[in-house]
A = this chain, B = another copy of it.
Amino acid sequence: MKRGGDRDNMAPAGAIGSRTRRRAVFASAELGRELDKATFKAKQPELREALLEAQFELAERRDFSVVVLISGVDAAGKGETVNTLNFWMDPRLIETNAMGEPTQEERERPRMWRFWRALPPRGKIGIFFGIWYTVPIVDRVYGKSDDAGLQAAIDEILRFEAMLASESTLVLKYWLHLSKDRQRERFKALERDAHTRWRVADDEWERFQLYDTFRAVSEITLRRTSVPHAPWIVVEGSDARYRLTTTARSLLESLWARLENAPPSPAEAVPPKLPELKDRNVLRALDLTGILPRKKYHRELGALQSRLNLLSRHKKMAERSVVLVFEGVDAAGKGGTIRRVAGALDARFYRIIQIAAPSDEERAHPYLWRFWRHLPRAGHFTIFDRSWYGRVLVERVEGFAAEADWTRAYGEINDFEFEMNRHGIVVVKFWLHISREEQYRRLKERQETGHKRYKLTEEDWRNRMRWDAYEEAVCDMVARTGTSIAPWHLVSSEDKYAGRVEVLKTICETIDAAL
Contacts and interface: CB of A to CB of B under 8 A. Distances in A.
A220 to B, nearest CB: 28
A347 B82 contact: yes
Contacts of A280: none
A6 B339 contact: no
Given A49-B450, A342-B86, A385-B92, A313 B348 contact: no
A85 to B, nearest CB: 8
B338 A91 contact: yes
Interface in A103-127: 103-105, 127
Interface in A64-97: 79, 82-83, 85-87, 90-97
Interface string A343-360: 100111111101000011
Given A92-B352, A103-B104, A352-B92, A86 B347 contact: yes
A86 B341 CA distance: 11
Given A49-B450, A98-B348, A104-B103, A1 B335 contact: no
Contact of A451 (B49, B98, B339): B49
A53 interface: yes
Interface in A129-159: 129
A91 B350 CA distance: 10
A312 to B, nearest CB: 8
Q: Which of A92, A95, A315, A454 neighbours the largest number of chain B CB atoms within 10 Å of its CB?
A: A92
A335 B83 contact: no
A87 B343 contact: yes
A317 interface: yes
B1 A314 contact: yes
Given A95-B351, A348-B96, A2 B318 contact: yes
Contact of A379 (B2, B129, B313): B2
B318 A3 contact: yes
A348 B91 contact: no
Given A86-B347, A105-B103, A348-B98, A92 B318 contact: no
Contacts of A351: 95-96
Nearest to A318: B2
Contacts of A85: 347
A346 B342 CA distance: 46
A404 to B, nearest CB: 28
Interface string A294-330: 0000000000000000001111011000000000000
A56 interface: yes
Interface in A38-52: 49, 52
A190 to B, nearest CB: 15
Nearest to A347: B96
A260 interface: no
A256 to B, nearest CB: 15
B3 A127 contact: no
Please provide the 6 A-B residue pairs with the shortest distance between their CB atoms, ordered closest to farther: A98-B348, A2-B318, A96-B347, A56-B454, A3-B379, A92-B352
20 contacts: A3-B349, A3-B378, A3-B380, A52-B451, A82-B347, A85-B347, A86-B342, A86-B343, A86-B347, A90-B335, A90-B339, A91-B342, A92-B338, A92-B352, A96-B348, A97-B348, A103-B103, A104-B104, A104-B105, A105-B105
